[in-house]
């Protein structure tokens, strides 16, 4: 059996790099005039617990009651909201530092001249803009149509640019989250999707895409099985996946958390030992890790991690094990039927990296590192 060069320090580094990716701070500012519902939207997107903290910061700002205009800065969920006069905002280029600015119109009051100025200031800035009409729950169909018409006319927008939402009832908040995510720099999208709570389906879709990508890489590296060796390559890939799945659900995955998950599934202490025990739970496991087993084991672990972290580690361990086993069965069948077809470019990429290692072109460390960061879509 080949020894692994990936020691505990290297595994820690994998966890840390996933943590860094998810701790990026997308700058999303919520701007609008008094009582449009900025704070309510902030709560609805990030959750009451986060908003409660930011309110405290808000109160420390002086003379805020004198201002009619406010921005709730949400670039760091959990802290930092501020109030600014319109002049401060327009003249200090405060929007330039934002990725996305949500311009919140109050659906129950007419669009004002100040809203027009605010819109123009956002347009002048480098930030991307989304224009919202809040309190849609209070509007009849006819009133919505009238408001939309007025917004298009006064702000020069296309009809599809005006998004009606209700912070109170939740109308269209998943769509809002989707639009924000699409406007963010790509490297920050996952962090935002992890931080928000208003579009849980989007979290699920991203988790599933991630899990299947990691499974394809695992399969690729195991295509030419070497007895005992593959598990060493697959463990770091799976560890990065588990950590990312946790972060999508707002759970910071450190070493202890990762081990806790493995222990929940009845696997032993230590990343590598656990991985070796886990793989034995998969039906059809032999002394050699085949591509199908690597694929199934990675999907199963990803789904088990998803269920576990989504429940905030409250799920009955027996249920987590069941998720693992059932998913492993299903994923094995999928792989047997479709083979590499699910993500052929990733499978090929992993296979090529592995071949490079065997020809001596890549060191083991290089191979492991490249496998962990392999992403779809580059070729």
Ligand X SMILES: Nc1nc2c(ncn2[C@@H]2O[C@H](COP(=O)(O)OP(=O)(O)OP(=O)(O)O)[C@@H](O)[C@H]2O)c(=O)[nH]1
Residues forming contacts to ligand X in the complex (CB under 6 A) are 32, 34-40, 70, 134-135, 137-138, 166-168
Q: In the bound complex, what is the minimum distance in angstroms from residue 108's beta carbon to Mg ion?
A: 16
Handedness of CA 263, 192, 176, 40 (dihedral sign): positive
Structure tokens at 316: 């009955």
Q: In the bound complex, what is the minimum distance in angstroms from residue 173's beta carbon to Mg ion?
A: 17
Binding site for Mg ion (CB under 5 A): 38-39
Binding partner of 189, given Mg ion, ligand X, none, CB within 5-8 angstroms per partner class? none
Q: What crossing angle do the helices spanning 230-248 and 186-195 adopt, rounded to 10°?
A: 60
Q: In the bound complex, what is the minimum distance in angstroms from residue 143's beta carbon to ligand X?
A: 13
Q: In the bound complex, what is the minimum distance in angstroms from residue 89's beta carbon to ligand X?
A: 13
Binding partner of 166, given ligand X, Mg ion, none, CB within 5-8 angstroms per partner class? ligand X
Backbone phi, psi, residue 105, to 5°: -95, 145
The nearer residue to Mg ion, 39 or 125, going by C-beta atoms, is 39
* Measured CA angle at 220 (ends 215, 221), to 5 deg: 100
Structure tokens at 132: 């919202």
d(CA 379, CA 376): 8
Measured CA to CA in angstroms, residue 220 lies from 121, 257, 347 at distances of 51, 28, 4
Structure tokens at 185: 């720099």
d(CA 228, CA 1): 5
d(CA 325, CA 65): 58
The nearer residue to Mg ion, 39 or 306, going by C-beta atoms, is 39
The nearer residue to ligand X, 166 or 327, going by C-beta atoms, is 166
Binding partner of 37, given Mg ion, ligand X, none, CB within 5-8 angstroms per partner class? ligand X
Structure tokens at 136: 């849609």
With CB atoms as reference, the residue minimizing the distance to Mg ion is: 39
The nearer residue to ligand X, 43 or 195, going by C-beta atoms, is 43
Q: In the bound complex, what is the minimum distance in angstroms from residue 43's beta carbon to ligand X?
A: 8
Binding partner of 119, given Mg ion, ligand X, none, CB within 5-8 angstroms per partner class? none
The nearer residue to Mg ion, 38 or 135, going by C-beta atoms, is 38
d(CA 296, CA 282): 8
Q: In the bound complex, what is the minimum distance in angstroms from residue 83's beta carbon to Mg ion?
A: 9
The nearer residue to ligand X, 74 or 125, going by C-beta atoms, is 74
Binding partner of 137, given Mg ion, ligand X, none, CB within 5-8 angstroms per partner class? ligand X
The nearer residue to ligand X, 53 or 341, going by C-beta atoms, is 53
Backbone phi, psi, residue 76, to 5°: -120, 95
Whether residue 339 contacts residue 332, with contact meaning beta carbons closer than 8 Å, is answered with no
Binding partner of 134, given ligand X, Mg ion, none, CB within 5-8 angstroms per partner class? ligand X
Q: In the bound complex, what is the minimum distance in angstroms from residue 58's beta carbon to Mg ion?
A: 7
The β-bridge relationship of strands 162-164 and 28-33 is unpaired
Binding partner of 206, given Mg ion, ligand X, none, CB within 5-8 angstroms per partner class? none
């Amino acid at each position: 059996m080949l020894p692994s060069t990936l020691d505990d320090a290297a595994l820690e580094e994998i966890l840390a790099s996933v943590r860094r990716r998810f701790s990026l701070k997308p700058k999303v500012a919520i701007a609008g005039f008094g009582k449009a519902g900025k704070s309510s939207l902030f709560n609805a997107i990030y959750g009451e617990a986060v908003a409660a903290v930011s309110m405290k910061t808000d109160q420390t700002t002086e003379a805020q009651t004198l201002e009619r205009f406010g921005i709730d800065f949400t670039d760091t969920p959990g802290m930092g909201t501020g109030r600014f006069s319109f002049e401060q905002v327009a003249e200090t280029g405060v929007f330039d530092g934002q990725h996305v600015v949500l311009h919140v119109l109050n659906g129950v009051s007419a669009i004002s001249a100040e809203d027009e100025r605010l819109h123009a200031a956002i347009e002048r800035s480098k930030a991307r803009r989304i224009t919202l009409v809040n309190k849609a729950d209070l509007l009849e169909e006819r009133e919505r149509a009238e408001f939309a018409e007025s917004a298009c006319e006064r702000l020069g927008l296309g009809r599809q640019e005006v998004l009606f939402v209700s912070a109170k009832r939740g109308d269209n908040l998943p769509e809002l989250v989707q639009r924000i995510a699409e406007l963010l720099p790509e490297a920050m999208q996952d962090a935002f999707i992890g931080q928000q709570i208003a579009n849980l389906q989007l979290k699920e879709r991203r988790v599933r895409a991630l899990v299947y990508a990691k499974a394809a890489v695992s399969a690729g590296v195991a295509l030419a099985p070497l007895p005992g060796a593959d598990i060493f390559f697959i463990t770091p890939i799976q560890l990065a996946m588990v950590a990312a799945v946790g972060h999508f659900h707002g759970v910071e995955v450190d070493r202890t958390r990762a081990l806790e998950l493995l222990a929940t599934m009845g696997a032993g202490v230590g990343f590598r030992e656990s991985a070796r025990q886990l793989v034995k739970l998969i039906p059809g496991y032999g002394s050699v890790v085949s591509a199908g087993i690597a694929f199934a084991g990675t999907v199963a672990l990803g789904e088990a991690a998803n269920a576990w972290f989504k429940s905030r580690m409250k799920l009955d361990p027996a249920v987590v094990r069941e998720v693992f086993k059932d998913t492993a069965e299903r994923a094995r069948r999928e792989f047997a039927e479709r083979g590499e077809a699910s993500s052929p470019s990733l499978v090929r990429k992993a296979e090529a990296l592995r071949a490079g290692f065997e020809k001596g072109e890549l060191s083991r460390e290089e191979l492991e590192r490249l496998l962990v960061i392999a992403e779809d879509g580059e070729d």
